[in-house]
């Protein structure tokens, strides 16, 4: 059986994924290498991967940093 931390982390990652999709919607769906969308997706994937394997004591900080990353996407100009 999954621990409560695993269940809550899965739910939190689902929320982060949804917010990321909404934040990057204006970039369209062309995520070829070299595009801004591709760069953001790679950075986001790294952040989610770090969340999955981080020790519990740093989890809150990593979640907070991922939310900040998503909110900062609004300030990125489209190239």
pLDDT tens digits along 9-60: 889 999 999 999 999 998 888 888 888 999 999 999 999 999 999 888 898 8
Q: How confident is the model at residue 1 (pLDDT cuts 50, 70, 90)?
A: very low
Q: What is the helix, strand, coil percentage profile of the chain, to 5?
A: 75, 0, 25
41-74: buried (b, 16+ CB within 10 Å) or exposed (e) per residue? eeebeebeeebeeeeeeebeebbeebeebbeebe
Closest CA to 77 of 19, 10, 26: 26
> 3-class SS at 35?
coil
Which pTM value belongs to this model?
0.86
């Amino acid at each position: 059986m999954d621990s409560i931390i695993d269940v809550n982390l899965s739910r939190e990652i689902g929320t982060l994924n949804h917010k990321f999709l909404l934040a990057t919607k204006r970039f369209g769906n062309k995520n070829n290498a070299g595009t801004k969308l591709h760069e953001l997706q790679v950075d986001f994937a790294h952040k989610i991967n770090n969340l999955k394997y981080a020790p519990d004591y740093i989890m809150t900080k990593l979640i907070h940093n991922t939310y900040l990353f998503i909110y900062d996407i609004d300030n990125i100009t489209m190239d």
